[in-house]
Structure 1
Amino acid sequence: MQQIIKFFLRFKIGILFLVLFSISLALTIQSHSYHNNKWISSTNSITAFFLNIQHDLSSYFNLKQNNLKLQKENNNLKEQLYNLNITTNDSIILDSLYTFKPCHVISNSFKRVDNYVLIDLGQSDGVKEDYAVSLPNGILGIVEKSEKNYSRVISILNTNLSVNAKLKNSNNFGSLQWDGARPNTIFLEDLPRSASFNIGDTIVTGNNSLIFPKDIPIGTIKNYELDNNIGYYSIEVKLFADMTSVNHAYVIIPKNIREAKDLLREKDE
């Protein structure tokens, strides 16, 4: 014990410097989104390796809980497949434009203003930037950066992300955005005054997106407010997915997105 005390007394200046340097570095990264993003990018491959080990250990000790969750997800997928057989031709055609690849969530942040998710699929799996990522009961975000075996996803709990969404029972749409507060609540902005809806109605992904397929359930209307000055609603949406406990997800790979983007580019020129 005395040797330990002598060690700390001998090197107290150096130890104090390292402690203060670590604290200042952490505060700098935490308080500046630019430094935070650079830090995430530079340490992505290294941290992914250790986080993957942590995920494997956690999965092993929670096999029973994970198996029950997977069974529930499989039942939901079977129901969706059955509904696909009796739905309209338009929906069948729409579904054939996308391929869903299952993945695991290695790291998920939800306490910051701008949150990111790390998944275990990358370029070797055909995953590219701007691909959508969904959940068994909602949406997770959009791929921001893809490396060989991992991809970083900008979460829907990120104030810089906006997703096209609409009322399930009509074609009235707006922009889905997070206010940086509660992880179970997001807002549908710019919904026109003419829209008709009720508390409890379902919000789904919209038609005006080349990233997400339409009609993916997102959540239900919890509250709303009309801005009389601009004539648009701000709708509070309670998410179906628990964004604080995300384990499994699906990367949505569009088959013809390049062709569609080229056509839109020609239209804008």
Structure 2
Amino acid sequence: MQQSFIAAQTTAFNAWVSGYIDEGTSYLKLKQINEELVAQNKTLMQELYGKEKIKNPSFVRVTDTIGGGQIYTFVDGEIVNNSIIRKDNYFTINRGKRHGVFPKMGVIAPQGIAGIVINTTNNYALVQSVLSMNKIRINASLKDSGFFGTLTWRGENSRTMHLSDIPKYVPIKVGDTVVTDGKSAIFPQGIMIGRVAGYEVDSKTGYWDISVELSQKMGQLNKVYVVRNLKKLEVKQIQDTLDATINNDQ
């Protein structure tokens, strides 16, 4: 219901923009409209992906003190420079520490995921592009079946990544949607990645080797959104506790 309402609001807003722009629209008016679109996209993403989905246990009644509260917020930014032809690629955005951007934050574009922040200054951030052979591993899933695996780039071209670790008994077809699976503190669940372009069984692992055509053309990055996980520190603390327990038991 909420997503239908948001979709309707988006359609109405886009219709308003289409009617507003004519041949005599000035550059400044176009810039104003573009800024309004960026702001609304950020608001829509926070509504769609930003709130935690709370489910009560089946047999135990608990008081929901969180109430579906905000877990992700988004910081909009623009690309300063970008590379797509190296073995490990990077891009820079005009947002930094003073805007609340820090390392290990995910970065998404209007059409899909883009990278992960690795360094920041006060006003800029360096982002590891998803087009990186040695330094990027994305948790991804097949939207229809929910099976998840690891998404990597093999340097073939700037449009294709590979999804591995999916058992070969899982049914797949060309055109299936691939999204983020939400099992990390970097990206929310359900962010678009791309669609299945081809698949075959990996003879070494016995699992599917799935080619994924990225929905976002990385050579055309312009506007991006940095993902801020408001509960990332809490998740890290519990994971650190688990790691310490495992190490002590060994």
TM-score bucket (shorter structure) = 0.7 to 0.9
Q: Which string of whole-angstrom CA distances, capped at 9 and with x for unpartnered residues, describes residues 173-196 of structure 1?
A: 111111112111111122122322
Counterpart selection for 2:185 from 202, 210, 213: 210
**1:188-207 → structure 2 map (5 Å cutoff):** 188-207=163-182
Of 139, 145, 156, 1:164 maps to 139
- Paired residue secondary structure (1:244): helix
Q: Aligned residue for 2:162?
A: 187
> Structure 2-normalised TM-score?
0.73
Structure 1 counterpart of 2:100: 126
Give the alignment partner of residue 111 of structure 2, picking from 137, 145, 157: 137
1:96 maps to what in 2? 70
For residues 89-117 of structure 1, the C-alpha deviation after alignment (integer angstroms, 9 at most, x for no partner) is 79x97782100111111111111111001
- 1:255–1:75 Cα change, 3 Å: closer
Give the secondary structure class of the aligned counterpart of 2:218.
coil
Partner of 2:231: 256
Cα pair distance change 1:149/1:69, threshold 3 Å: closer
Asked whether the 8 Å contact 2:54–2:68 carries over to 1, the reply is no
Residue 220 of structure 2 aligns to a residue in which SS? Answer: coil
**8 Å CA contact 1:113, 1:181 repeated in 2:** no
Instruction: Return closer, same or farther for 1:166/1:178 CA change in 2, 3 Å cut-off.
Output: same
- Tell me the distance in 1 between the aligned counterparts of 2:240 and 2:129: 27
* Greater radius of gyration (CA): 1
Alignment partners' CA distance in 1, 2:198 and 2:165: 15
Indicate if the aligned counterparts of 2:38 and 2:76 stay in contact, CA closer than 8 A: no
Q: CA–CA distance in 2 between the matches of 1:69 and 1:223?
A: 38
Q: Which residue of structure 2 lines up, in the alignment, with residue 150 of structure 1? A: 124
Gaps of 5+ in 2: 1-25, 57-65, 245-250
Structure-1 separation of matches of 2:206 and 2:182: 22
Report the Cα distance in structure 2 between the residues aligned to 1:95 and 1:232, rounded to whole angstroms.
38
User: CA 1:105/1:70 → structure 2, altered by over 3 Å: closer, same or farther?
Assistant: farther
| Counterpart residue number, 2:81 | 107
How many residues were matched structurally? 208
Q: Distance in 1 between matches of 2:118 and 2:203?
A: 36
**Structure with greater helix percent:** 1
- Measure, in 1, the Cα distance between the counterparts of 2:50 and 2:100: 25
3-state secondary structure, aligned to 1:263: helix
Query: Structure 1 residues 268, 72: CA separation in 2 closer, same or farther (over 3 Å shift)?
Result: closer
Q: CA RMSD in A?
A: 3.2
Given that 1:143 and 1:152 are in contact with CA atoms closer than 8 Å, whether structure 2 keeps it comes out as: yes
Give the direction of change, closer, same or farther, for the CA distance of 1:147–1:93 in structure 2 (3 Å limit): farther
1:32 aligns with none
Whether the 8 Å contact between 2:49 and 2:188 is mirrored in structure 1 is no
